Structure 1
Amino acid sequence: MENDFLYPASLKTKDGTKWGFINKKGEFEIQPDFDFALDFQKNDLATVEKDGRYGCIDRVGNVIVPIKFESLIDFSEGRAAVVFQSAFHVIDEQGQILTKKSYNFISMYQEGRAMFSDIDEDGNFRYGYLNLAGEIVIPLQFETASDFKDGLAIVKIAENYFALIDRSGNLMSQYHYFFVGNYGDGLLTFKMGLNEKVGYIDLNGNVVIQPRFTSAQAFEGGLAVVNEADEVENKYGLIDKKGQFIIKPVYNDVTILGENRVAVGKAIDPQKPYIGSRFAITNWKGQLLTDFMYNHVSQFDHGIASVNESNKAYFIDRSGNRARGLPIVQGAESVALVGRLVRAMKNTRIAYFDRKGRLVWRQNTIIPLTSRYRVLEKKYEPNKDFLVFYPQVDGLKNEKAQVNVNEQLKQRSNLKKVDPNEQLDYTYTGDFNVTFFKNNLLVMELYGYEYYFGAAHGMPTKNYVNLNMINGRFYEIGDLFKKDVDYVIDLSAIIEEMIHTDSQYDYIFPGAFKGIAKDQPFYVDEMNLYIFFAPYEIGPYAAGFPTFKIPFPKIIDMIDTKGEFWLSFH
């Protein structure tokens, strides 16, 4: 089976980054025709994306699950939750929709049940459960619910009223507390009030460990991670089922790694514990097996875990020693054993190595456009928390214009000065894609993501360059239109109509759209003009970058079809 193992791999092209599947020699067995691809699952299906839609292929590249879903969660027990026409459904492994109606949310199947949520008859948001046929077996009735584990699930019936149910929805135990959850090893966490401490009860509701923790996780193998801190500083430790500390609560992080091993972390900056930790490995008695030297530690699997130390990633055994017969990958953030290869994540890029450390595959850094023109990928990494991949063009006849273009591309890619020794309060990653190239016009997307440590989420950025490869000119939106056309008013009217008549734009904040700007962000392809806005500008963060696709035939009378911009790709 390992000889048939296939690995998702990406290739940068003039049509964007494309994904296919390589063999252990680094040869494409399934050509890179997809916008994204994930590993093959146990059912020999791999999720792929094309044009913003998801489906599944088999090991020879045949589409088994139609590529038509807006989202597709991994298969579990022969079923997968998908989003289709903006609502959740359940499909089988042939892509057949099993649910007779749609829902607000459906979880992965666990023990023959999938949690789902929807609005009940009284207009309340409630949870219930589906069986493998996609049928409701436990009706909507719970305020909150968990996945099934050991034949049991925790549900909230009403305020200060939780219960343990079986797979048929029968009440096995009832609990009158402010919160009950995190089931594991026959114990549950509970709180008596909003600002109260957390403790543990047994399945009958008897208090086993008095509430004294600010947070507490589920028991696993007789141990649980808890936090005693009341302030910003964390005090994580590990307790047994009697509430006795096996690992004292003095750490910024504690993670159970499996196979009787635990990672304990000290804050990189004690004044800012949210920045992260430096980890060591202990056994389940809390005895240190390594120094505090790792930035990241994976779960143990068959006696092996991967770690990141400084600017390299490698594997260790349960004793904390470097694993024999497996490579060190310099410059990698993480490594994992996948089939016969080692998959490394290097600067947000996937690379594959054999077990002797020889490179098998990495994404290309030169994107050919024609025999003359090409785009070169360059890397700017002044600090461990600041990384940008940015484009540089090559092949312009006018060398002075090429130098100017490449300097502009650096600036537009956010290559700012950063102290290499400073511990930043944030991380920033930037990248780019070629999205369209025809004749003399090159369109590239420059995007980034800035995340401040401890924040609920980061902030994405995006801009496009529409570049003439003959003269090095960067086009603005006004360059597309006739001089006597007020494109701001006309395009604003078109978008206003789209917002009011097209249901896909129902998320736009009422009254938020006031018209486009004279220098409105935009991009083009062969048939369309695209106008987009930043998150929060006219819609919620979850909507991303609201984008309006306007076909050229709709606005052809406005376009300067004899102008330089239009003729650059016609």
Structure 2
Amino acid sequence: MGVFTKFGVRLLLALVLLCSCSIGYESDIDYSLMPVKQGDKWGYINAKGEYIINPQFDGANVFTDNGLARVWVGDKCGFINKKCEYVIAPQYSSATDFFEGKAWTVKPKGAPVLIDTKGRSCFTLKNVRTVYNYSGGLAVVVDDNEMFRAINTAGETVFELSGPAFVTNFVDGLAAVQNMDRLFGYVDKNGKAVINSQFYGADFFLNGKAIVRADDMYGVVNKEGKYVINPQFAEMQQDYNKFLIKIGEQYGWCDERGKIIINPQFENAFPFFGANLAAIKMGEQWGYVNKEGKITVNPQFQFALPFIGKVAWVKSADKWGLIDEDGKFVVNPQFNDVLCSYRLFIPVRNYVVSEYFDVEGIISWINMMLDGNKVDGMTVTQTTISGFRKKYNLGEKGVSVEKKYSRDMSYEIYANGTFYENVSDGWWGTTTKQLPNARLDYVTIQLKLKDNENTRPLYDAVINALGGNNGKRGSGQYVKVKASPGIVTIYVSDKQIKDILNDNLGWSNY
């Protein structure tokens, strides 16, 4: 929920009935089957508590209206239909649910791939780090340099964000963003700022209204950025035609104009979300109130979740069951856990993180660095140490520079040679004297990898690109290469490298 995650507990809802949210956000969740956990496995029950799909999965998610649910077998996830048939076999290390008919998937060591409900690949994004689900026809992606952009359903960039971050998807035509000063505002689907960044927090728009934070208090603005409820509450959450609010340490409700309609008196609460009753906490127990604020189901449960239609999940004696609006169990507490989805009630942000290690891109960069018998544009043995220091803006004693290539790799360039000499101090000893005009013998490029498992594939690609781990290239350049988990080291010069023993080259597991 963006900046509002501290509001109560993050809902995990799996409730009965196929329905749509009544707060202006159309849900695509199908609750005719509900994921439940018994023992250490997940299965699916119907509204009567009967197993339709026996417990067999290591993880299970809700069904969406396309008839698919994401499930886990071991550490891989795939998608099943309501007959418990795999439509898309477990093969992904991570995946989103389906949104607008598409889901993002990542295979082990792979890049994000967008798939359709048949599991067919639409396209792959290699040069990204994180990808969020589609919403309103656009998806937000983040690259290795932490730059945000919005892409369309063909994977084409619609616009790049000038500030540091998106904080919501596009909902109700707008997305909340944060600028370089860490202030929040809103952009439309063309990237145009429609509400200038001015808030200390901002959530998604629904029904033309959004909750924002000014200083330490929350209020509500319309799409012109004008306050319809002045900042005055410690917390707020959208709730159809009203808002769940917090004043001091107590929760209650206000209407669309900010007028209190249920006095703050509860230790915690969930919104009504269009139902007749809302879950509230008094003392250590949970119960339910109606829209007039009257307690209709006395606090008696360890935990209680919002109603969907006429039923709600509650926890009693460490087990989950379903109750009706009178507080009577329609499915007795018997399940270890229930998996639910906030997605029924509010727009959520699903995402995957790329596992792709761009060996091809790194090799291309190395070839560029070593182009024309040079290293980063330097003819090694014709470059003085002072010239090396000037090139990389080093101090008077610097002999190396470290840079970030990507989130997966950094690299360090070392100058190697004799850059000092000992001379008499005029008495009985010696002192060290710099030799600013001394030339380099060779350069070391050390590639430092975040994930050790990426080292061997990169090393193999490097020696293939350079023609081996010890020799003279066609350009006349001499190279030597060694590697161990986490580090690939390349020694380069335009003359033979005598200081590096051949026995130290190649791959080492240490």
What TM-score, normalized by structure 2, do the two folds share? 0.52
Contact 2:233 2:246 in 1 (8 A): yes
Higher radius of gyration, 1 or 2: 2
Q: What is the 5 A alignment of 1:54-453?
A: 54-56=42-44, 65=53, 67-76=55-64, 77-99=66-88, 102-118=91-107, 126-141=111-126, 142-157=128-143, 159=145, 161-182=147-168, 183-193=170-180, 196-229=182-215, 234-258=216-240, 260-268=241-249, 278-302=250-274, 304-308=276-280, 310-311=282-283, 313-317=287-291, 320-322=292-294, 327-332=296-301, 334=304, 337=307, 344-345=314-315, 350=320, 355=325
Give the deviation of 1:240 after TM superposition: 1.6
Contact 2:279 2:288 in 1 (8 A): yes
Equivalent pairs counted in the alignment come to 305
Give the deviation of 1:338 after TM superposition: 6.2
Give the deviation of 1:112 after TM superposition: 0.8
**Residues 70 and 151 (structure 1), Cα distance of their counterparts in 2 relative to 1, 3 Å cut:** same
**Residues 155 and 265 (structure 1), Cα distance of their counterparts in 2 relative to 1, 3 Å cut:** same
Give the deviation of 1:265 after TM superposition: 0.6
Contact 1:99 1:135 in 2 (8 A): no
Give, in whole Å, the separation in 2 of the partners of 1:248 and 1:347.
Answer: 42
Contact 1:257 1:298 in 2 (8 A): no
What TM-score, normalized by structure 1, do the two folds share? 0.47
Give, in whole Å, the separation in 2 of the partners of 1:62 and 1:361.
Answer: 9
Unaligned 5+ runs, structure 2: 1-12, 18-29, 337-510
Counterpart secondary structure, 2:88 = coil
For 1:315, the aligned partner's letter is V
Task: After superposition, give the CA deviation of every residue in 1:336-391 in whole Å (9 maximum; x if it has no partner).
Answer: 54666676545755566665566778669xxxxxxxxxxxxxxxxxxxxxxxxxxx
Give, in whole Å, the separation in 1 of the partners of 2:84 and 2:190.
Answer: 42
Identity of matched residues, %: 18
Give, in whole Å, the separation in 2 of the partners of 1:226 and 1:357.
Answer: 35
Give the deviation of 1:110 after TM superposition: 1.4
Give the deviation of 1:144 after TM superposition: 1.9
Contact 2:235 2:247 in 1 (8 A): yes
Give, in whole Å, the separation in 2 of the partners of 1:185 and 1:206.
Answer: 15
Give, in whole Å, the separation in 1 of the partners of 2:34 and 2:73.
Answer: 18
**Residues 354 and 119 (structure 1), Cα distance of their counterparts in 2 relative to 1, 3 Å cut:** closer
Give, in whole Å, the separation in 2 of the partners of 1:60 and 1:286.
Answer: 40
Give the deviation of 1:262 after TM superposition: 0.4
The two structures, once aligned, show a CA RMSD in angstroms of 3.6
**Residues 103 and 243 (structure 1), Cα distance of their counterparts in 2 relative to 1, 3 Å cut:** same
Contact 2:272 2:307 in 1 (8 A): no
Contact 2:73 2:90 in 1 (8 A): no
Unaligned 5+ runs, structure 1: 1-36, 269-277, 365-431, 433-570
Give, in whole Å, the separation in 2 of the partners of 1:361 and 1:89.
Answer: 29
Give, in whole Å, the separation in 2 of the partners of 1:307 and 1:92.
Answer: 32
Give, in whole Å, the separation in 2 of the partners of 1:102 and 1:140.
Answer: 18
For 2:58, the aligned partner's letter is E
**Residues 184 and 302 (structure 1), Cα distance of their counterparts in 2 relative to 1, 3 Å cut:** closer
**Residues 244 and 80 (structure 1), Cα distance of their counterparts in 2 relative to 1, 3 Å cut:** same
Contact 1:71 1:83 in 2 (8 A): yes
**Residues 295 and 119 (structure 1), Cα distance of their counterparts in 2 relative to 1, 3 Å cut:** same
Structure 2 counterpart of 1:402: none
Contact 1:294 1:310 in 2 (8 A): yes
**Residues 286 and 120 (structure 1), Cα distance of their counterparts in 2 relative to 1, 3 Å cut:** same
Contact 1:81 1:91 in 2 (8 A): yes
Give the deviation of 1:71 after TM superposition: 0.8
Give the deviation of 1:116 after TM superposition: 2.1
Give the deviation of 1:153 after TM superposition: 1.9
Give, in whole Å, the separation in 2 of the partners of 1:301 and 1:38.
Answer: 14
Give the deviation of 1:162 after TM superposition: 2.9
**Residues 245 and 347 (structure 1), Cα distance of their counterparts in 2 relative to 1, 3 Å cut:** farther
